[in-house]
């Protein structure tokens, strides 16, 4: 194995919680219920698809233009939460594990559906750290389609089957399986037991390699 492709939100840092907070504000404004379970279904999928999950509970129908306005509203709230982030939001465990994988000779990439990935990487001090960043800005289909990971592997010049994908989203593990990657689940994704490895902590990656 030559490379690692990491999801960002909920794997490298806890921005998945900010997504949850921001969607909750929108749900309240629309008067629809919104739970952690709903939020777990938004993991890994694009902003507009995440909005559709939230709108399943709404009796009102929205036009495409109105949906764009709602997604923009959520993104503004999300970005204001990101504003408070800094290097403190990158844990020692994650940074140390990444450094050790690199020392072992692995190439490291990000594979995220987010269009905010670059802002987040800057905030936590990891801009220019990864060998490649594939995110919501360079894909046409989000997870569970494997496109974002295939692009990340291409950018690193490594065949998909020689890369591990690390994911906290069910849709992300499914994407990695579809793309022929070796799959590692952390966080919410471990309960589905569909990944090859299901880890209780990020540093357990070092036990695999
Ligand atoms: C990640 C998150 C999703 C989010 C998507 C788009 O995949 O897991 O919950 O909907 O990115 O994020 P964005 O920052 O572009 O709204
Ligand atoms: Mg994630």
Known catalytic residues are 7, 9
Same domain, 113 and 168: yes
Ligand with smallest separation from the Cα of 46 = 1
Distance of alpha carbon 113 from alpha carbon 148, whole angstroms: 7
Quote the CA–CA distance of 112 and 172 in Å, as a whole number. 9
Is residue 89 marked as binding?
no
Distance 188 CA to ligand 2 centre (A): 9
100 & 197 share domain: yes
Tens-place pLDDT, residues 64-81: 999 999 999 999 999 999
The pTM score is 0.98
Average pLDDT, the chain: 98
Q: Domain limits at 43?
A: 16-84
Number of separate helices (H) and strands (E) present in the chain: 9, 6
Q: Is there an atom of ligand 1 within 6 Å of 116 CB?
A: yes
Same domain, 197 and 121: yes
Please say whether the beta carbons of 100 and 209 come within 8 A. no
Beta carbons of 148 and 134 less than 8 angstroms apart: yes
| Distance in angstroms (rounded) separating the CA atoms of residues 110 and 130 | 7
| Strand 182-185 with 197-198, pairing | parallel
Q: How far is the CA of 104 from the centre of ligand 1 (A)?
A: 30
CA pair distance 152, 41, nearest whole angstrom = 23
Residues 128 and 104 placed together within one structural domain of the fold = yes
Of 60, 84, 108, the domain-final residue: 84
- Percent of the chain predicted with pLDDT > 70: 100
Does residue 128 have a known ligand-binding role?
no
């Amino acid at each position: 194995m030559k490379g690692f492709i990491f999801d960002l939100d909920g794997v490298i840092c806890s921005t998945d919680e900010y997504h949850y907070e921001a969607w909750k504000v929108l749900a309240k404004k629309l008067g629809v219920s919104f739970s952690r379970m709903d939020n777990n279904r938004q993991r890994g999928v694009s902003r507009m698809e995440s909005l559709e999950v939230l709108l399943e509970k709404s009796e009102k129908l929205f036009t495409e233009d109105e949906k764009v306005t709602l997604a923009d509203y959520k993104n503004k709230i999300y970005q204001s939460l990101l504003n408070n982030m800094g290097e403190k939001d990158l844990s020692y465990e994650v940074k140390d594990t990444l450094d050790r994988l690199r020392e072992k000779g692995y190439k490291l990439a990000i594979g995220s559906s987010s269009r905010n990935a670059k802002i987040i990487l800057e905030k936590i001090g990891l801009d220019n750290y990864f060998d490649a960043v594939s995110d919501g800005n360079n894909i046409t289909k989000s997870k569970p389609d494997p496109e974002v990971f295939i692009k990340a592997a291409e950018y690193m010049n490594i065949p998909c089957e020689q890369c591990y994908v690390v994911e906290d989203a069910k849709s992300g593990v499914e994407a990695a399986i579809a793309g022929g990657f070796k799959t590692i689940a952390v966080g919410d994704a471990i309960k589905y037991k569909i990944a090859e490895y299901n880890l209780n902590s990020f540093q357990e990656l070092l036990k695999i390699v």
